[in-house]
Copies of this chain bind each other. A is one copy, B any other.
């Protein structure tokens, strides 16, 4: 039985970890912390968790003693120092602090110096690309929600040089839970309902993360033009991606089927079928579709995920499974909720 702790258990990704770990046959929750609600039972605040563990203040000693793995679900910057103190506990950080190969990129986009970063045995936790390194990592930087949907949609094409990496254009749409459980007027129901809007146009913090990973796959510098949009739904990300190609749709489709043939969570759709975020709801599955605009040789890739599962907590559990030598799908086999 893996003993798992969660710091930041009462945010949306923290609560999703609780849901997934309660359902996991080989893990149990042994530690939950929350600054806001320390001292209370989780189900007092969130009856739907049906979890009567008591929330604590963060205590590194208790974590070291009671946990084999610690999930940190905190705002960017908050995990780094906290995590460095811990010994003998594997870390899966759902924030951005351990995602970058180059701490200078983190400093530029997140405004914080990560001292001693080079000594940490970390990896970018996208299992479909870095499975082997995850097995032996001490710290996993769990990918962002948008990057997960974008990198998986582009990996086969870039790996096999099927598209031009200089012209990657990503128009992404996300449900509101991606903004977290924050008291902000912008995310009130009355503001979001019947509303669709772009935000952080061309300067979202997920850009450098995508460019790092896409650059590694293609072996070239990659520029991503990225426009995220807020959509009136709770869960789900759909990324629509435009790239130039000189290959045929058939050839590209074949390459995708081959690339993902053994992946349990990535589903390349038949030709002519395009994904819906609804097909992923509450699950760790990814659906990828594609179409060609023939006149302009533009390949249109579309990928759908649940932002809180494959885009956050589900992927974190998938990483835990890999780190502890379990079957990668353990505790994540359930299919999406529909309708």
Contacts and interface: CB of A to CB of B under 8 A. Distances in A.
Contact of A337 (B47, B232, B289, B337): B337
A187 interface: yes
Interface stretch (A98-106, A130-138, A178-186): A178-186
| A169, A295, A337 pick with most chain B CB within 10 angstroms | A337
Contact of A202 (B15, B19, B193, B300): B300
A47 B192 contact: no
19 contacts: A22-B335, A49-B335, A51-B335, A173-B231, A182-B188, A187-B188, A189-B192, A189-B234, A190-B339, A194-B234, A194-B281, A195-B277, A197-B304, A198-B238, A198-B274, A202-B292, A225-B242, A225-B293, A282-B282
A333 interface: yes
B173 A229 contact: yes
Copies of this protein, total:
4
Contact of A238 (B192, B197, B337): B197
A183 B185 CA distance: 5
Interface in A93-116: none
A192 B338 CA distance: 11
A338 B292 CA distance: 37
A171 interface: yes
Contacts of A275: 47, 197-198
Contact of A339 (B23, B191, B295, B337): B191
A31 interface: no
Contact of A333 (B23, B227, B232, B273): B23
A188 B190 contact: no
Interface in A236-271: 236, 238, 240, 242, 267, 269
A219 interface: no
| A229, A280, A292 pick with most chain B CB within 10 angstroms | A229
A192 B278 CA distance: 8
A229 B240 contact: yes
A298 interface: yes
Given A15-B338, A169-B169, A193-B189, A227 B202 contact: no
A220 to B, nearest CB: 14
A193 to B, nearest CB: 5
Contacts of A295: 223
Closest 7 CB pairs of A and B: A197-B276, A195-B278, A48-B279, A171-B171, A190-B339, A189-B192, A201-B291
A296 interface: yes
Interface in A61-102: none
Given A173-B196, A282-B337, 16 more contacts: A15-B338, A19-B336, A47-B275, A48-B283, A48-B336, A169-B298, A175-B194, A189-B192, A193-B193, A193-B233, A194-B194, A195-B276, A196-B231, A196-B304, A223-B296, A232-B233
